[in-house]
Amino acid sequence: MGGAISLLAVNFVIAQIFVAAFLVIAVKSRHGRAAAWCAAGFAIASLAAICEAVLPFTPVPKFFAVGAFASVLAGFCLLRFGLGLFYGVPAKPAALAAFLIVSVVVDLLIYDLPRGTLQHAFFYQMPFFLIQAWTAAAIMRSPRRSYADRIFVGLLVLNALHFLGKVYAAIAAGAGSTASDYLQSPFALISQALGAALIVGTGVAILGVMVKDIVDAARASSEIDSLSGLWNRRGFIERVAPWLLSRNAKSPGALILTDLDRFKGVNDTYGHHTGDEVIRQFARVLLDLIPSRAAAARLGGEEFAVFLPGVDLADARVVAQGMRAAIASTPIADLPETATITASFGVAAIAPGESLEMALQRADKALYVAKAAGRNRVECAEPTARVVTPVVSQWMRQ
């Protein structure tokens, strides 16, 4: 019995560590509610260790035996609810509550059946199998498909199968004749040892996917321009440069570099609040007109860039003309009706093997021509005569 109680204590301590970890995640993550429900799940499930430790010494073993069963299952139900929030596949609280109540009623009905029999072991372990399988199936319906998510689903499936295996283990190893005898049975050591391993595995897996979400969100926010909602310079380079390196097509795509005309005058005349609204509106114009695979960025100030994959120079010019016409005809809040916002555009077709830096330089020269020619116009860069693959420059490292 001492070995089983020691494992119960270990499981309880492990559960409290995960409770603390999930509470920290709840503070740091955008999915704080999901992490809080997971913390509650581990906290409630850990009460089973207390109930099972008290079993051999209490005059009311039935209360603590059923309490241990209900605690673990309630913890799993809370985890299902929290993970449903995290993965966007929510479970109805009423369905989870009904499942828990029915399962506890079944446990009460089988309480007096002989331990270590198929009838008792099957109906005792089946609710745990079902809740784990339910959670795994829900996550598989989620749009998230990262490597960490797949590992987590695999652990949930393994966890579900482990409860089916415990049906056989309870019969083969013996689970004691009564609930009070459980801690003295060989099955108790097997059950608690497997439980400890799976608690750690499941808890670490959940923490892993949630921490990955925090890291991904932080990385994304560092690559997004907060004012326009477009990629910033870093985010744009990290998406476009690898795309160019991985493609050997005859037409890798085209680059549009654009600059709002006389933007400083807008800020000086109407204020920076209006200037910010111009930036936001122009960003919406770009997003409305580019295809889904394209990338748009605010490189800084009033300068923007658009990458159009697989588009030739003629088509890219048409897109740029559409952008030019759209911003000129778009009303801006806080601007008088007579005030018009225009932009100039430089377009460059990217040659096979050409670096993003070289294409940006050519598009920038075309943009300069458009500015010098009177603004509110589109100019195309001359095609590159030959492509030289340069060493990554300081510009690319910024």
pLDDT tens figures, 221-251: 788 898 999 999 989 998 898 888 765 556 7
pLDDT digits (tens, 9 = 90+) for 330-347: 888 878 878 889 999 999
Residue 45's nearest CA partner among 115, 100, 88, 92 is: 100
Sequential DSSP letters for 254-284 = EEEEEEETTHHHHHHHH-HHHHHHHHHHHHH
- CA atoms within 13 Å, Cβ hemisphere of 170: 28
Q: What is the largest CA-CA distance in the chain?
A: 95
For 379, list phi and psi in degrees, rounded to 5. Answer: -125, 145
260, pLDDT greater than 90: yes
* Phi and psi, residue 229, nearest 5°: 80, 0
Q: What is the rounded distance in angstroms from the CA atom of residue 152 to the CA atom of residue 170?
A: 27
Supply 319's token pair: 């897109």
Whether 319 has a pLDDT exceeding 90, the answer reads yes
Q: What is the pLDDT of residue 257?
A: 97
Which residue shows structure tokens 């795509």?
Answer: 253
Mean pLDDT of the chain: 85
List 52, 238, 277, 302, catalytic entry: 302
What's the confidence (pLDDT) of residue 390? 47
Mean pLDDT across the stretch 245-262? Answer: 82
Q: Note whether 332 and 395 are within 8 A (CB).
A: no
Distance CA 396, CA 368 (A): 21
Cα dihedral across residues 160, 168, 191, 123: positive or negative: positive
- Strand partners of residue 253: 309, 350
- Does residue 60 register a pLDDT over 60? yes
Q: What is residue 163's predicted lDDT score, i.e. its pLDDT?
A: 87
Q: Is 302 a catalytic residue?
A: yes
User: For residue 182, what pLDDT is reported?
Assistant: 53
What is the mean predicted confidence (pLDDT) over 128-133?
95
User: Which pLDDT score, from 0 to 100, does residue 392 have?
Assistant: 43
Q: What is the pTM of this model?
A: 0.64
Mean pLDDT of 115-131: 88
Asked whether the predicted pLDDT for residue 1 surpasses 60, the reply is no
pLDDT confidence bin for 212, thresholds 50/70/90: confident
